[in-house]
Structure 1
């Protein structure tokens, strides 16, 4: 089976590579010539564990190809996946210019039936716009060529994307015709053979499923952060509360960890887009708006705790930060709490030293040299007045606290991810604070 994937960002590259691994002949398309050239050389544009080996293996096997021109493969493919970016506009709506550009390219060049599948996260109703864009180009050409538009939202966690794709909880596919349904079932047959469910539905429902799923996960995070902040004020321990809640089979224990807020490429953007979709349709998404408001406030909590530790005066203090990426196993810093913390510390007159195992270059690209980039986690704490954990990378879980205590000037620890034993640190002479416990 021959398919094309337009867009070699996080979703597109993982999707194309994993389909190739399952035996599909895949052409990945991107207008960025430099990125395509690097991919041909085996250089990955993103950090995702295991992806570089998978790309190399499938390129060598002749199942994975890269090009800058979609038209070179349109005659050969049965399905085209659109995995281009949908960045948020200022009003929170998803920017669909790239999605519609792909649709117009398809309409301008197809000579036979093709299914254009939207893989990017797009608002409900996008498929209608995509269909209209293709049909408009066919009308301009004066030709009558059958085509289908489908929705196949991604549910990939950064840092575990390959596993998520190869062993999915479910595959959601929205179609408009029996022909499109059969093609999508054929493409995903290897997954059904392994017992992973494919949920076939109408296109608007598939589009909404992605937003609803991400909004629910974001809601659980913000809910737990709200509970954690109240726990601090009433003398409760949020870890105990989480365990008590999670033991209820109706609730479960996933996404109930308090922390310094969520970030990344999905939750912030999708929550904003869902709020905007509600407003466009005359409906006020009160719960989802609250989820976003709580999260934005939560990103300030580490700074607030640092400020409290130094009686409101951070001028001239040196603050060490462990972790920059919004979560472990990725270099993604989109909407990362670290960006908020750094900005506030600098504004307060502090000197900031940072370390992250993979996101240092991304941080430098985003904010330049306004912070000191350290070679390892221990260099950050030399002469530091405080240390704050922002990303729970595994290498941060069991540090040598004796070394850290000797290296620091003052001994303030702010645990933004609640991974340390506060009693142990206090016994070692640290002033320790976390989220959701006094």
Structure 2
């Protein structure tokens, strides 16, 4: 099938490359000419494991990029909207980019003779595809959705750093549609993937995405709340959760205590669901607590540090890990950000290191010192905060010998204190 993808971020780039891998003809649409050039040169605009290899394999064959909506729409049968949907702290979602993409698609569809299907893959609150996207498409295309225009919602469930694998090996595929024809077209794109397609209406598909992420975020905050209690009782929370997770009704995934969740999905989606609930005159107290626990969790690392090192001002502190999780360069809602901000308020001299995310973090904190290795960040430090679960950090040992004081606060349960010689080790929740 011929597919166009609007937006070349994490979701758009992965969707484009993976559809090409499935044998479809794909055209990426992006208003950023630099991203268009990058893709056509075979380089993805974002880092994802395996993504560059797929782009190199398919660019120039069945994958190209353009900034021309008319060209892309005329030469494809289905267009996916994969643009950003940021939200404010109160949960209000910004649909301006989705609206702009819908308008441009509608204008291009207006001059096309054949039937065309538009699919929303961006994460949007229930009612958006039908209430916002549909109305804009119908206005600018002069077509009626469900008759001469297809409309569907196909949420993504991709883990950053594992997005290519997750796309090609999903545990679920959800297609929300306005009519049977739209459902058949979108479901057909996944025919070569061994996974059942769940067909629902548009609002249900939108809600499934939010509930999926909100539940996982809730598990993390629950584990962190329990971890905080366990630490005060001298109990190893990881032993507790290992046993609890063996219950088939619970599952061990996302029960690891630590510094909290970040990224482009969990914080934003939970806040958006909270905002949507309040618009319906319902106060979602559980979800509010999920966010509250997550906001307070990383700051406890600074409290632990101050307990061990009462005077932080002018002290050199190593921060290892800047990305919100390992295997990505994404710093959005990274738990390192509030920690670094708090340390700066207290006058600390911060030396930070991350295998991939340093350049992105420099845009947020341009004045801290960025090291080229964990060893360099640790040299002469009075303390170290471990913030991201990179595999290379799990191997640290003798590198701590270069610190002025071998004080380590582990926010991700990465290291075994019994294997660290003469290191003052303190876990966040254990």
Instruction: Tell me the alpha carbon deviations over residues 185-236 of structure 1, each in whole angstroms, 9 at most, x when there is no partner.
Output: 2211111xxx311111111110000000000000000000000001111221
Under a length normalisation based on structure 2, what TM-score does the superposition of the two structures give? 0.96
Which of 166, 172, 179 is residue 181 of structure 2 equivalent to? Answer: 179
Question: SS of the counterpart of 1:4?
Answer: strand
Instruction: Tell me the alpha carbon deviations over residues 329-371 of structure 1, each in whole angstroms, 9 at most, x when there is no partner.
Output: 0000001011111111111111000111111111112221x21
Structure 1 runs of 4+ aligned residues shifted over 4 Å read 141-145
Under a length normalisation based on structure 1, what TM-score does the superposition of the two structures give? 0.94
Aligned-pair distance for 1:90?
A: 4.9
Structure 2 distance, partners of 1:145, 1:423, is 67
Which of 373, 376, 380 is residue 373 of structure 2 equivalent to? Answer: 376
Instruction: Tell me the alpha carbon deviations over residues 25-57 of structure 1, each in whole angstroms, 9 at most, x when there is no partner.
Output: 000000011111122223332111111111011
Paired position in structure 1 for 2:123: 121
Which of 325, 328, 347 is residue 327 of structure 1 equivalent to? Answer: 325
Aligned-pair distance for 1:143?
A: 13
Which of 391, 395, 404 is residue 409 of structure 1 equivalent to? Answer: 404
Aligned-pair distance for 1:98?
A: 1.1
Deviates more, 1:415-424 or 1:284-293: 415-424
Question: SS of the counterpart of 2:74?
Answer: coil
Q: 1:342 to 1:223 in 2, by over 3 A?
A: same
Aligned-pair distance for 1:142?
A: 11
Question: SS of the counterpart of 2:73?
Answer: coil
Structure 2 distance, partners of 1:403, 1:43, is 35
Structure 2 distance, partners of 1:6, 1:100, is 12
Q: 1:142 to 1:336 in 2, by over 3 A?
A: closer
Paired position in structure 1 for 2:359: 361
**1:147-166 equivalent positions in 2, closer than 5 A:** 147-166=149-168
Q: Contact conserved, 1:221 with 1:256, CA < 8 A, in 2?
A: yes
**1:195-206 equivalent positions in 2, closer than 5 A:** 195-206=194-205
**1:214-225 equivalent positions in 2, closer than 5 A:** 214-225=213-224
Paired position in structure 2 for 1:429: 422
Deviates more, 1:235-244 or 1:2-11: 235-244
Aligned-pair distance for 1:422?
A: 2.0
Q: 1:348 to 1:146 in 2, by over 3 A?
A: same
Deviates more, 1:38-47 or 1:14-23: 38-47
Q: Contact conserved, 2:41 with 2:59, CA < 8 A, in 1?
A: no
Deviates more, 1:62-71 or 1:40-49: 40-49
Q: Contact conserved, 1:36 with 1:67, CA < 8 A, in 2?
A: yes
Confirm whether residue 133 of structure 1 aligns to residue 132 of structure 2: no
Question: SS of the counterpart of 1:255?
Answer: coil
Paired position in structure 1 for 2:8: 8
Aligned-pair distance for 1:101?
A: 1.4
Question: SS of the counterpart of 1:366?
Answer: coil
**1:15-414 equivalent positions in 2, closer than 5 A:** 15-60=15-60, 62-110=61-109, 111=112, 112-128=114-130, 129-139=132-142, 146-191=148-193, 195-311=194-310, 313-368=311-366, 370-399=367-396, 401-405=397-401, 407-414=402-409
Structure 2 residues not aligned, in runs of 5+: none
Q: Give the total of aligned pairs.
A: 426
